[in-house]
Amino acid sequence: MSTPRDALPDHVCEQARLSRDARFDGLFFTAVTSTRIYCRPVCPAPSPKRSNVRYYANAAAAEADGFRPCLRCRPELAPGNPAWHRGEDVVARALKMIDAGALAEASLENLAARVGVGGRQLRRLFVEHLGAPPLNVHTTRRLLFAKQLLTETALPVTEVALASGFGSLRRFNAAFAQANRIAPRELRRQPRAPGNGGALVLRLGYRPPYEFDGVLDFLRTRALPGIEQVDAHAYARVFGPAEAPGWLRLSAWPDGEHALKLELHCPQPERMLGLVTRLRRMFDLDAEPGAIAATLGAGGVLAPLLRRRPGLRLPGGWDGFEIAVRAVLGQQVSVAAARTLAARIVDRWGDPLPTPVLPGLARLFPAPERLVDADLREVGVINARAETIRGIARALLDGRADFRAEQPLEEFVACWTALPGIGEWTAHYMAMRALSHPDAFPAADLILRRAAAGDGGELSTRALSAMAEAWRPWRAYAVMHLWRGVADQAQPSRRRA
């Protein structure tokens, strides 16, 4: 057994295990040597003897040591551990790339080269930090998703294999049986019936507290007509490609379980894991509220805001280009005005779906190819912002800019501010929404500078930036708390896009 360098101390794990503390769900796993099974700390099964318990920082490390996932607490439902993805070191960047499918598309050597190390060094770093090499992390991620599909849906086993990233049913069956000591078909003794309209229904777990209403409130004012619908209870969206469109709906799981309910119709099974990963990022389901509060709630202007809304999250966006266009449209105008302009762009250049897959949702956001030469003045976009949007589309198409999640924040901001019409505020806002970067901070924002002053005054951008140094690496969460604090006091006449 390899103990990761950054693992939680055993006495902390022991206390969390015995109390079944949901705040630690996904931050470690408990393995029992007498049964060779590993569990979440919230597992309802009787607590094993301490002498039979081992603690692992992640599921891949437990499986690498020969333990299989518990069928009762289902480790596949545990939220991710954000500590491994945080920061800009080699391991964090490589993990983000694995989540994006890097090892499904290329070799370990290729992944190592992209993060600037050799394959052996990357393997050593993963074992040192995570307790398992990169390929084990990649395989465990796919197998746990397959286990969830087999347990919760009626999807055929062949499609489960595709959905979890296995191109071969034979390889999937062999890998699944080795990890779970049971064949896929044996696990599915009572497959679930299809959901509404043939949709799959999946649970997406999170660590409490989680303010789902706050995420919906933020997304509701920015929802794009024809593409998204957000009401008091759920977020719904259509997605492409236009020739095989899908739809999804996300709502709170009933009965108070720490999970969201995903209803998903996806005609292309091979896209499912990527879509679920995207939704977990968009709704910030892997955040660790305790770590965030420990930094932001230490005192000062944020302390009362943290007490009022301890589960506030960082709402992401579905697509980088979509967020970038919205950010530019929102420069110096209200959220409502930016939404109106975005809706006109969707109506004029968005790809229509042959048949609406959900009532009222019948278009896809235009790709960069559609807007690179579009005359956006036709829909009321002023010339300067129209040129900026065309410049963004051009930069994405020729590879001068991108939305890779693994890139350092400073590199992302420098790349985008090199484009005409993109300033620091816009670049940081894009990093908050498109990358879900926890430390992005649009310091020039007028609402932030007034809210942080706390006395009816207004801080300078430099003064706010200096104050925010104490909030690293969670400055983006400070933004959300300050914005929400202003909204709670009174509906502002102007807010950023």
- Confidence band, pLDDT 50/70/90 cuts, at residue 305: very high
Average pLDDT over every residue of 400-425: 95
Q: Please tell me whether residues 28 and 94 are part of one structural domain.
A: no
Q: Please tell me whether residues 98 and 76 are part of one structural domain.
A: no
CA separation (Å) from 320 to 102, 103, 285, 287? Answer: 18, 22, 19, 20
Q: Which of 287-301, 324-338, 416-430 has the highest mean pLDDT?
A: 416-430
pLDDT digits (tens, 9 = 90+) for 116-141: 999 999 999 999 999 999 999 999 99
Q: What is the CATH number of the domain that holds 101?
A: 1.10.10.60
Beta carbons of 222 and 315 less than 8 angstroms apart: no
Domain range for 171: 84-187
Average pLDDT over every residue of 464-478: 96
**Maximum distance among all alpha carbons in the chain?**
72
Q: Please tell me whether residues 112 and 179 are part of one structural domain.
A: yes
* E-state strands within 326-447: 351-352, 363-364
The 10 Å CB-count burial string (b at 16+, else e) for 234-271 is bbbbbbeeeeebbbbbbbbbeeeebbbbbbbbbeebbb
Residues 6+ apart with CB under 8 A from 446: 458
Structural domain contains residue 26: yes
pLDDT number for residue 18:
96
pLDDT at 492 over 80: no
Residues 6+ apart with CB under 8 A from 287: 82, 206, 207, 313, 314
User: Which residues partner with 487 through β-bridges?
Assistant: none
Beta carbons of 25 and 41 less than 8 angstroms apart: yes
pLDDT number for residue 496:
44
Beta carbons of 309 and 293 less than 8 angstroms apart: no
Q: Which residue has the tokens 């596949």?
A: 76
Structural domain contains residue 440: no
Q: What is the CATH number of the domain that holds 59?
A: 3.40.10.10
pLDDT number for residue 105:
84
Phi-psi region of 197 (alpha: psi -120 to 50; beta: other; left: phi over 0): left
pLDDT digits (tens, 9 = 90+) for 196-226: 667 999 999 999 999 999 999 999 999 999 9
Of the three residues 81, 103, 122, the one that is the final residue of a domain is: 81
Residues 6+ apart with CB under 8 A from 158: 169
Lowest-pLDDT range of 52-66, 244-258, 347-361, 458-472: 347-361
Q: Which residue has the tokens 């896009």?
A: 497
Average pLDDT over the chain, rounded to an integer = 93
Q: Could you tell me what percent of the chain has a pLDDT over 70?
A: 95
Q: Where are the alpha helices (DSSP H) in 65-208?
A: 82-85, 90-99, 102-105, 108-114, 119-130, 134-152, 157-163, 169-180, 184-187
- Confidence band, pLDDT 50/70/90 cuts, at residue 381: very high
Burial label for 231, CB within 10 Å (0-12, 13-18, 19+), is exposed
Q: Which residue has the tokens 């235009």?
A: 366
Of the three residues 36, 53, 81, the one that is the final residue of a domain is: 81
Q: Please tell me whether residues 96 and 169 are part of one structural domain.
A: yes
Distance between terminal CA atoms of the chain?
Answer: 49
Structural domain contains residue 460: no
Structural domain contains residue 461: no
Instruction: Tell me which of 495 and 192 has the higher pLDDT.
Output: 192
Lowest-pLDDT range of 144-148, 188-192, 229-233, 464-468: 188-192
Q: Please tell me whether residues 59 and 131 are part of one structural domain.
A: no
Q: Specify the DSSP class assigned to residue 132.
A: S
Q: Please tell me whether residues 169 and 88 are part of one structural domain.
A: yes
Q: Please tell me whether residues 66 and 93 are part of one structural domain.
A: no
What is the rounded radius of gyration, in angstroms, for the C-alpha atoms of the chain?
Answer: 23
Q: Please tell me whether residues 61 and 102 are part of one structural domain.
A: no
pLDDT digits (tens, 9 = 90+) for 345-355: 999 999 999 88
Q: Please tell me whether residues 47 and 59 are part of one structural domain.
A: yes
Structural domain contains residue 211: no
Token pair recorded at residue 403 = 């939305």
Parallel/antiparallel/unpaired status of strands 259-265 and 351-352: unpaired
Residue type, 17: R
Nearest Cα to Cα of residue 436 among 465, 467, 468, 404: 404
- Confidence band, pLDDT 50/70/90 cuts, at residue 332: confident
Backbone angles phi, psi at 290, to 5 degrees: -65, -45
Q: Catalytic site residues?
A: 39, 445
Structural domain contains residue 403: no
Residues 6+ apart with CB under 8 A from 74: 40, 147, 148, 151
Per the structure, the count of domains in the chain is 2
Q: Please tell me whether residues 171 and 92 are part of one structural domain.
A: yes
The 10 Å CB-count burial string (b at 16+, else e) for 44-62 is eeeebeeeebbbbbbbbbb
Structural domain contains residue 146: yes
Of the three residues 161, 187, 213, the one that is the final residue of a domain is: 187
Structural domain contains residue 471: no
Q: Specify the DSSP class assigned to residue 32.
A: E
Q: Please tell me whether residues 70 and 121 are part of one structural domain.
A: no
Lowest-pLDDT range of 83-87, 97-101, 191-195, 238-242: 191-195
pLDDT number for residue 490:
63
pLDDT number for residue 88:
76
Strands of the sheet containing 228-230, edge to edge, are 200-205, 259-265, 246-252, 234-239, 228-230
Its pTM stands at: 0.94
Q: Please tell me whether residues 25 and 100 are part of one structural domain.
A: no
Nearest Cα to Cα of residue 437 among 393, 399, 404: 404
Residue type, 192: R
